[in-house]
């Protein structure tokens, strides 16, 4: 582990931009979100978390899978990125969400080529979360504000510098590229780092006991407790579009001139049309059933299929729900149900 002094962060980013396309948190339309930067001055690191999920860099809201020239009948693939990508300043919860999506897009030994073309081309510089929000509950789902899982390089903000630690082989290569900008940490700075880590974990006071929840949910599909949760839900889809582990999508073909292109775009299980069949039958016609599906998928079905909860505790769905529906309250209520 070494340090990059705060007054040298611009040099650090400029060096990275010589080798990579760098995506970092910027202010856009009064919201913090990840975007490709052209200068270090655009970067904003004083934030709790981005409004939009950075997983959209790898699984875009809308993407063209391929086009076909009807005259030549030749499929054309979208261009591949010219340079490797660095995602700078991503939080641990979002880095972990990418590990979850890796499992989704690597199904039965087959990789989704569009997702992994971006994923394998990217390096994650994760920044520890020293000021978690009151809506954060990452420690309840097996993570934490200083979780290194999914990181290639890990940064932690200190008073005068950023501690920087390589985690993966990719991270070690970047570490060497910027090594002349780095300094050794003093004993006092190492103590400060340990104290910051302890303090950040203590700041997350939103604990939800989820032990045994997946097994419990197996017998609760028809339980009357589900009648309680959907009453305030308006089915807007905010929770799904901001959730970094949500991955439902639809596909359509669109004709434009002599070309037909196939498009993949996000879909939402909170919408009535999500399960509407061509016969007119809808197996989930009510909001109660759709809310139940969202909870069951993340905390039972995904656990059965992939061995972990499909939630990283980032709190976006809590912070941005227009009717203040809190997933933590739902989970606590489910854990309270007897029999």
Question: What is the mean pLDDT for each group of 10 consecutive residues in the chain (339 residues)?
Answer: 94 96 95 96 92 95 91 76 92 97 92 94 96 94 94 95 96 96 90 89 90 94 94 95 97 91 95 94 96 97 96 96 96 90
* Global confidence as pTM: 0.93
- Cβ-Cβ contacts under 8 Å for 310 (sequence gap 6 or more): 100, 245, 297, 298, 299, 302, 303
Res 339: pLDDT: 62
pLDDT of residue 48: 87
Predicted confidence at residue 111, as pLDDT, reads 94
Cα end-to-end distance, the chain, whole Å: 50
Q: What domains lie within the chain, and their CATH numbers?
A: 2-52+79-203 (3.40.640), 213-248+265-336 (no CATH)
* pLDDT for position 105: 96
φ and ψ of 165, to 5 deg: -135, 125
> Under a CB-based contact definition with an 8 Å cutoff, are residues 140 and 210 in contact?
yes
């Amino acid at each position: 582990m070494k340090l990059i002094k705060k007054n040298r962060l611009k040099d650090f980013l400029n060096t990275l931009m010589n080798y990579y396309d760098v995506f970092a948190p910027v202010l856009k339309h009064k919201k913090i979100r990840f975007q490709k930067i052209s200068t270090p001055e655009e970067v904003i690191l004083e934030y709790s978390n981005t409004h939009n999920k950075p997983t959209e860099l790898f699984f875009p809201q809308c993407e063209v899978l391929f086009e076909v020239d009807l005259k030549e009948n030749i499929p054309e693939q979208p261009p591949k990125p010219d340079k490797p990508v660095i995602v700078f300043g991503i939080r641990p919860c979002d880095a972990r969400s990418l590990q979850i999506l890796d499992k989704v897009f690597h199904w039965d030994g087959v990789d989704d080529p569009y997702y992994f073309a971006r994923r394998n081309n990217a390096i994650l510089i994760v920044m520890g979360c020293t000021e978690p929000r009151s809506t954060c509950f990452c420690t309840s789902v097996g993570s934490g504000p200083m979780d290194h899982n999914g990181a290639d390089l890990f940064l932690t903000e200190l008073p005068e510098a950023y501690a920087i630690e390589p985690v993966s082989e990719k991270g070690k290569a970047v570490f060497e590229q910027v090594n002349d900008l780095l300094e050794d940490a003093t004993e006092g700075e190492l103590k400060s780092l340990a104290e910051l880590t302890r303090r950040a974990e203590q700041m997350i006071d939103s604990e939800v006991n989820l032990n045994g929840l997946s097994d419990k949910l197996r017998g609760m599909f028809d339980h009357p407790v589900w009648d309680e949760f959907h009453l305030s839900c308006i089915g807007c889809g905010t929770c799904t579009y901001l959730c970094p582990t949500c991955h439902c999508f639809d596909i359509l073909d669109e004709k434009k001139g002599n070309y037909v292109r196939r498009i993949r775009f996000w879909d939402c299980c909170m919408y009535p049309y999500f399960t509407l069949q061509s016969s007119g039958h809808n197996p989930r016609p009510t909001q109660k059933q759709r809310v139940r599906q969202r909870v069951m998928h993340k905390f039972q079905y995904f656990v059965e299929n992939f061995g972990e909860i499909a939630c990283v505790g980032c709190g976006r769905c809590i912070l941005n729900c227009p009717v203040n529906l809190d997933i933590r309250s739902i989970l606590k209520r489910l854990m309270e149900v007897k029999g």
